[in-house]
Amino acid sequence: MSAAGNKPRVAVLISGSGSNLQSLIDAAHAPNYPAEIALVLSNVATAYGIERANKAGIPVKVISHNDFADRSSFEAALAASLAEFKIEYVCLAGFMRILTADFVRLWAGRMLNIHPSLLPAFKGRNVHAQALAAGVTISGCTVHLVTPELDDGPIIVQAAVPVLPDDDEAHLAKRILAEEHRIYPQALAWLASGRINVADDDKTAQARARLGSLINPPV
């Protein structure tokens, strides 16, 4: 196993509590974990996840979308920080901004998201309310590669969680979150150790050709 400094460098993008960030930090403490959490990026200055990162000694950048005129300039700032910290993989962990297709394509095959449902069921927001309203007896969570369409990319791993007869959103969310904390570190380990490869489609290849110099190390 390579020394800690040689492991692929991962940025975790957050907007809130950062409990998934914590699960990645904890997993990455294991000497044989194949990735290093090298940067936490938050678009919200008060996100509790920032404290988690500080406690773990991980560099934090706060980049508020409110400081930018449009999505592209916000993302240019994100890209600059990712390049500055030589990030190779990105984990979205409760990051509440929609990313443009160009940005997503630039990171195709290297960016993961976690979503609290068994995708393709219940995309978007208010996921647990959607599941309860639909009356499903099993819900769960999904880690997937990020593609331009929301909550839609290739699925890496899922965990199923029973919906109990008297469940409400909070109780269901809590039990699903516990499973999120189990599967996200597993998925990142697979990705960072080169076990997941997805071929670029034409649009992705074109975006890389146009914008590839923005990414460091280059793709």
Binding interface with ligand GRF (CB under 6 A): 14, 16-20, 93-94, 114-116, 177, 180
Identify the CA nearest to 14 among candidates 63, 54, 55.
Answer: 63
CB 170 → ligand GRF: shortest distance, Å? 12
**Hey, which residues are catalytic here?**
115
Place of tokens 């499973």: 179
Whose Cβ is closer to ligand GRF: residue 147's or residue 204's?
A: 147
Residue number with the smallest Cβ distance to ligand GRF: 94
Whose Cβ is closer to ligand GRF: residue 89's or residue 204's?
A: 89
Whose Cβ is closer to ligand GRF: residue 12's or residue 207's?
A: 12
Whose Cβ is closer to ligand GRF: residue 40's or residue 192's?
A: 40
Radius of gyration of the chain (CA): 17
Structure tokens at 29: 């403490």
CB 183 → ligand GRF: shortest distance, Å? 10
Whose Cβ is closer to ligand GRF: residue 128's or residue 208's?
A: 128
How would DSSP label each residue in 48-109? HHHHHHHHHT--EEE--GGGSSSHHHHHHHHHHHHHHTT--EEEESS--SPPPHHHHHHTTT
Place of tokens 């809590």: 174
**Residue 67 to residue 63: CA distance in whole angstroms:** 8
CB 93 → ligand GRF: shortest distance, Å? 5
What dihedral angle (degrees, nearest 10) is formed by the CA atoms of 84, 88, 92, 98?
70
CB 15 → ligand GRF: shortest distance, Å? 7
CB 121 → ligand GRF: shortest distance, Å? 14
93 within 8 A of 11, measured Cβ to Cβ: no
